[in-house]
Amino acid sequence: MASSFVDKARISIHAGKGGDGAVAFHREKYVAAGGPDGGDGGRGGNVVFTVDDNMSTLMDFRYKRKYVAGNGANGQGKRCYGKDGETLYIKVPRGTIIRDTETGAIMHDMSTGEDWLAARGGRGGWGNMHFATPTRQVPRFAKPGLPGESHDITLELKLLADIGLVGFPNVGKSTLLSVVSKAHPKIANYHFTTLFPNLGVVYVDEGVSFVMADIPGIIEGAAEGAGLGHDFLRHIDRCRLLIHLVDVSGSEGRDPVEDFDAINAELSQYSPDLAQRPQIVAANKCDLLYGDRENIDRLREHVEALGYTFFEMSAVTHEGTRELVKECARRLHELPPIASYEADYVPPEPVVDTSGELNIQQFDDMWIVEGPWLQRLVATVNFADYESRMYFDRVLREAGVFRRMEEMGVKDGDTVSMYDLMFEYKD
């Protein structure tokens, strides 16, 4: 049963490679010197994440770890452009956080429902029709397509629930969820009946409802990995309000005040911010007190002194559950909406090993510069950004590209072509 809920997964994504440009010449009867007409290659397919509200876990990513978009088709003669590669859409549950695996930085929060472009496909290579000039009428070269972006990412599901139920195992969280919503969590009289989070929609009144999450029971030492550990605590990170259920029946020989303090200590150790989240304390199993109110009176005095709202209830007999639900709805009306996480990922400056060989060819006043490391560099540089352009120029100069071209006789005003980048050489 535990394996049916997966809330964290690591995958690699690869956008498609751009198609190669074509070398072709127009050939038609009675038409002399038709000229170059090789078309451009198609753009590689993007990788896009999209929200699927029918998904509730990351189970699909347990067995498939590599996702690759379609490559762009090569260009053809008669100025025919290659077809763009097919975009790959990856479906994830709402509330999934996408992180860079290496740094742990947040790349995007899939909470709003909007699609997110995670990796761009490579640009298609230019066909030889682009390289014809009055002095170069028969260009016999074209450009290869550029590789697409790739990332190693970690998917982390943080459920979108307004209210989270917290407490020790077997205090009645699943029973309460089943009573106030139409959810059907597993209920039994033993610890860790709940092995994965359950969600339920609680309808309070016409037009008034909220989502409640039943989180697996926490025990002392959970923040260090005891019991089920704190893996599931991430699912209450977004909750606007917590209902802290405490068993006041004494049926397991536990002290409710100590239990309350122990759970709050675990929450604080996991996340100080979470420990400050608004809480309603619900004393459950009041139907088993049989007139002995010592436990409940001590707990009430303790939590009210700390400023918490206190309710007496019994999930089994439904006593007090309606009043608790109404108070939750009232509090949620005053609280800010569910938080979304701001992206803090900063793409690293590309590190390119320039030790590989470069091929430099001259065609009249056109210089073609190609090589594996240059292809990777061009694919990663944003030429719309001044700093990126300066970085590109610096790498070329440090690699001795311009010095080598000068030794080969490049002149001021010659055209330099590096994949889909063309510029005029200046001394």
Q: Each residue's pLDDT tens digit in the chain (427 positions)?
A: 334 467 789 999 999 999 998 888 877 665 555 678 888 999 999 999 999 988 878 888 988 999 999 999 999 888 889 999 999 999 998 889 999 999 999 999 998 889 999 999 998 988 888 777 666 667 777 788 888 999 999 999 887 889 999 888 888 888 899 899 876 644 444 344 445 677 888 998 888 888 898 877 665 554 455 444 466 677 778 889 999 999 998 777 789 999 999 889 888 888 888 888 999 999 999 988 777 888 899 999 999 999 999 999 999 999 999 999 999 999 999 998 877 888 888 877 667 778 888 888 887 788 889 888 888 888 888 787 888 888 888 889 888 999 999 999 988 888 888 887 888 888 7
pLDDT at 238: 83
E-strand stretches of 216-293: 241-247, 279-284
Backbone dihedral angles phi then psi of residue 175, each to the nearest 5 degrees: -65, -45
Q: Which helix (H) or strand (E) holds 173?
A: helix 173-180
pLDDT at 26: 77
Angle 182-186-188 from CA coordinates, rounded to 5°: 125
Please tell me the CATH superfamily of domain 1-157, with its number: GTP1/OBG domain (2.70.210.12)
SS3 268: helix
Distance CA 87, CA 43 (A): 10
pLDDT at 4: 47
Distance CA 16, CA 71 (A): 4
Other Cβ atoms within 10 Å of 407 Cβ, number: 9
352-427: CATH architecture:
2-Layer Sandwich (3.30)
pLDDT at 328: 94
Q: Which DSSP category does 2 fall into?
A: G
Other Cβ atoms within 10 Å of 297 Cβ, number: 12
pLDDT at 183: 64
Distance CA 75, CA 20 (A): 6
Predicted TM-score of the model (pTM): 0.74
What are the residues whose beta carbons fall under 8 Å from the beta carbon of 21, sequence distance 6 or more?
38, 39, 40, 41, 74, 75, 124, 125, 126, 127, 128, 130, 142, 143, 144, 145
Distance CA 272, CA 34 (A): 73
Domain ranges of the chain: 1-157, 163-334, 352-427
- The domain defined by 163-334 carries CATH number 1.20.1440.130: no
